[in-house]
Structure 1
Amino acid sequence: MMNRIGRRWVAAFGLAVMTAACGSGDATSEGEQASPIERAPTPKSEFTAEELEATLDALVAEINEGGVEPMQMAILLKDLGGFFLPISTGANRAMGELGVTGNVLGPSGQGFDQQQRAEAQAEQIGQAVVDGAEGIGVSPFGDAIAAGIDEAVASGVPVVTLDTDAKGSKRDIYVGTISELAGVTAGETLLALLPPAPGTVVIHGADDPSWVDGMSRMAGARDVLEPAGYTIVVRAITWSPQGEAADVEAMKAQIETADPPVVGLLGLHNVSYRCAMAAEAAGATELPVVAFDFEPKTVEYMRQGLIKATHTQRQYYAGYLVPYILYGMKIIGIDATKAILAPRIDDEGRFNVGLDVVPWDKVDEYNTFLDSIGVTQ
């Protein structure tokens, strides 16, 4: 249930949406000036992303100097529920504050394979352009949508990718987690909990070179732990319905047989809680376990102290940023918008939203923060 803080914030947000719809996005009488964009204030918490808030405030200040205008945009996501629900919430909230016209849309078809989904998404992009979108945000199904992105950009419509990237396309900016940096952060979190080397660390993650983001996250963690003197053994995630039992049994065996002995476990994806299950099965609950994402099972093991920390991906902020970035590109231009975002953009055009590192004893505080912004992580 949303707490009182969250209800007050959402009520304030609703007022902001009404104001935006009646003000900034509407035409004004001759001689009148459109109302400036005003963001609904984000509740303060130790988990508030202050650096992202400051970036947004700087962007809004420049937008208001440039002059507020109506705009149509489209945000195309892989899904509207689950992992993507906070993204959808953030995007809808930003569009309401901006007073723009447009929708947050899920995939146009169900039951297709990855290639078919990508092709359908490329068609969505083309249709958005035909319908008059002046900016598009998209969470790509794969590189097959690159041609659709390129056509939109060639027609003068900026495209921002989020959550996943389409590096081979001409998209203007990617907004989201940068996998290799996420791996570094996770590795550093575990490193602080480990006894001095030598020792073995079990990493539950990717070993498939075709999974670029998974391998990048793995590489980031390795780059922290291996130079510190630890031996890395990997258990590749089994994603099938039988995967949980297989992963737990395999990591249990690694804990029991590794030489040098296992001193910690690191999970790099949403089923990270399996590391804690493996430690429990091996009778080694004293081993520090660090996880990723905020799944209910992960939270359960955190409350028991069997997972010492997890890393969450700030989906809400990714969704919230994209409409503001697209609006900035229209009002002050692409280059000026990128200049404001530059401190968090790397040389591949990726804007890093960062991670929330949540210790095991801060679960309630983190849930309160999520409630205060009206999302479920």
Structure 2
Amino acid sequence: MMNSIGRRRVAAFGLALTTAACGSGGTTGEGEQVSHIKRAETPKSEFNAEEIEATLDALVAELNEGALEPMQMAILLKEIGGFFTPITTGANRAMGELGVTGNVLGANGQGAVAQGEQIEQAVADGAEGIGVSPFGEATAAGINEAIDSGVPVVTLDTDANGSKRSIYVGTISASAGVTAGETLLALLPPAPGTVVIHGAGDPFWVDGMNRMQGARGVLEGAGYKIVVRPIDWSPQGELADVEAMRAQIETADPPVVGLLGLHNVSYRCAMATEAAGATELPVVAFDYEPKTVEYMRRGLIKATHAQRQYYAGYLVPYILYGIKMIGLDATRAIFAPRISDESRLNVGLDVVPWDKVDEYNTFLDSIGVTQ
């Protein structure tokens, strides 16, 4: 949580950003065209995404070589608030630095239909680029219509693989699973042993299954037996998950040597070790939920993997502006070290050890992010 000192620091950082935006590329809020993009300096931290920062600087340098133009864009998210708060912060900050005009909008709980209407409206209003966090393939038709009308679309957080979108920006699930598996592996005793994975159980949940397979491959490759507890998302799911994993801890053969949670309810793994009286087992989690942080402070979760929502939101306006000014191929070339499959830009993860919670909170405060 952000304390009062953090809020004052963020307010000062925000003022600096506003000042920078008024002297940056594109147009100001009043439509006055200016000639130079200047990114506000990100406060230094061990959690800085240095490769992303360096790549953005390279893009800005390329853009500043030419004449800059005004641009209108729209960033359309599933919702405003919660998980999407850091995305909103990043997107607004980038648009301010670029001096472009545009809005960040949520679908207001109305789903893919409302989002499709928002895409259509953005095109009608003159958007020259759209960033969207799509409701999967259900949003693909709207994305394709925008692209067919000449408006490039970048997806973020979730993808619509079947669409014509230019680039996806966010977490790559299989890669994230590998990272999580490697984090737990470093904490385990030598094989043999059983690892409990708390993750996807629905084969239609592609990202969840990809994350699961990435982690599973690392741990099975190291000689461990894997047992999976599919996440129960029902209102009674927490109790059911804890009881099921408690039973796995008590009955597994060979004995359980660690637990890995791959989604935002990963803290249930720590609850299961408490229920089984086995709090010595290492638990590794995913996302940065308040309950996860609580168990980290108690030493019952040894590390978690925080998705970089802020960077996903921050990158999209820069990519859209790059596409307009230097073209899609040139923009992709600059980001090539982080792009897989020619079109998926991996923002990576922050691996946060249990004893670095305060340092990570300080980093989040410094960039104006709460999660």
Q: Does 1:105 align with 2:112?
A: no
| Structure 1 CA distance for aligned equivalents of residues 116 and 57 of structure 2 | 32
| Structure 2 CA distance for aligned equivalents of residues 15 and 23 of structure 1 | 12
| Structure 2 CA distance for aligned equivalents of residues 206 and 44 of structure 1 | 36
Which stretch has the larger CA shift, 4-13 or 318-327? 4-13
Query: One-letter code of the match for 1:16?
Result: L
Paired residue for 2:178, among 168, 179, 184? Answer: 184
| Structure 2 CA distance for aligned equivalents of residues 356 and 365 of structure 1 | 12
What is the aligned partner in structure 2 of residue 7 from structure 1?
8
Q: CA deviation at 1:11?
A: 2.2
Q: Does 1:145 align with 2:139?
A: yes
| Structure 1 CA distance for aligned equivalents of residues 342 and 113 of structure 2 | 24
Q: Give unpaired runs (5+ residues) of structure 2.
A: none
| Structure 2 CA distance for aligned equivalents of residues 75 and 316 of structure 1 | 14
Instruction: Write out aligned runs for 1:153-168 (5 A).
Output: 153-168=147-162
Query: One-letter code of the match for 1:241?
Result: P
Query: One-letter code of the match for 2:62?
Result: E
Q: CA deviation at 1:4?
A: 4.5
Q: CA deviation at 1:18?
A: 3.9
> SS of the residue aligned with 2:221?
coil
Q: How many residues align?
A: 367
Query: One-letter code of the match for 1:84?
Result: F
Cα deviation digits, residues 45-96 of structure 1 (max 9, x gap): 0001101100110111111112221100000000111100000010011111
**TM-score, normalised with respect to structure 1:** 0.94
Cα distance change, pair 26–250 in 1 and its aligned pair in 2 (3 A): closer
Query: One-letter code of the match for 1:13?
Result: G
What is the aligned partner in structure 2 of residue 331 from structure 1?
325
What is the aligned partner in structure 1 of residue 313 from structure 2?
319
What is the aligned partner in structure 1 of residue 40 from structure 2?
40
> SS of the residue aligned with 2:45?
coil
What is the aligned partner in structure 2 of residue 241 from structure 1?
235
Q: CA deviation at 1:22?
A: 6.0
**TM-score, normalised with respect to structure 2:** 0.96
Cα deviation digits, residues 248-307 of structure 1 (max 9, x gap): 000000000000100000000000000000001000000000000011110111011000
Instruction: Write out aligned runs for 1:129-278 (5 A).
Output: 129-278=123-272
Q: Work out whether residues 134 and 159 of structure 2, in 8 Å CA contact, stay in contact via their aligned partners in 1.
A: yes
What is the aligned partner in structure 1 of residue 17 from structure 2?
16
Q: Does 1:361 align with 2:355?
A: yes
Cα deviation digits, residues 143-181 of structure 1 (max 9, x gap): 121111111111111100000000000000000000000
| Structure 2 CA distance for aligned equivalents of residues 8 and 177 of structure 1 | 28
| Structure 1 CA distance for aligned equivalents of residues 23 and 353 of structure 2 | 43
Q: Give unpaired runs (5+ residues) of structure 1.
A: none
| Structure 2 CA distance for aligned equivalents of residues 38 and 321 of structure 1 | 15
User: What's the C-alpha RMSD, in Å, of the aligned pairs?
Assistant: 1.6
What is the aligned partner in structure 2 of residue 76 from structure 1?
76
> SS of the residue aligned with 1:160?
strand
| Structure 1 CA distance for aligned equivalents of residues 276 and 24 of structure 2 | 62
Over 2 Å off, 4+ runs: 1-27, 32-35
Q: Work out whether residues 17 and 99 of structure 1, in 8 Å CA contact, stay in contact via their aligned partners in 2.
A: no
| Structure 2 CA distance for aligned equivalents of residues 194 and 22 of structure 1 | 52
> SS of the residue aligned with 1:312?
strand
Cα distance change, pair 142–23 in 1 and its aligned pair in 2 (3 A): closer
| Structure 1 CA distance for aligned equivalents of residues 244 and 206 of structure 2 | 24
Q: Work out whether residues 147 and 165 of structure 2, in 8 Å CA contact, stay in contact via their aligned partners in 1.
A: yes
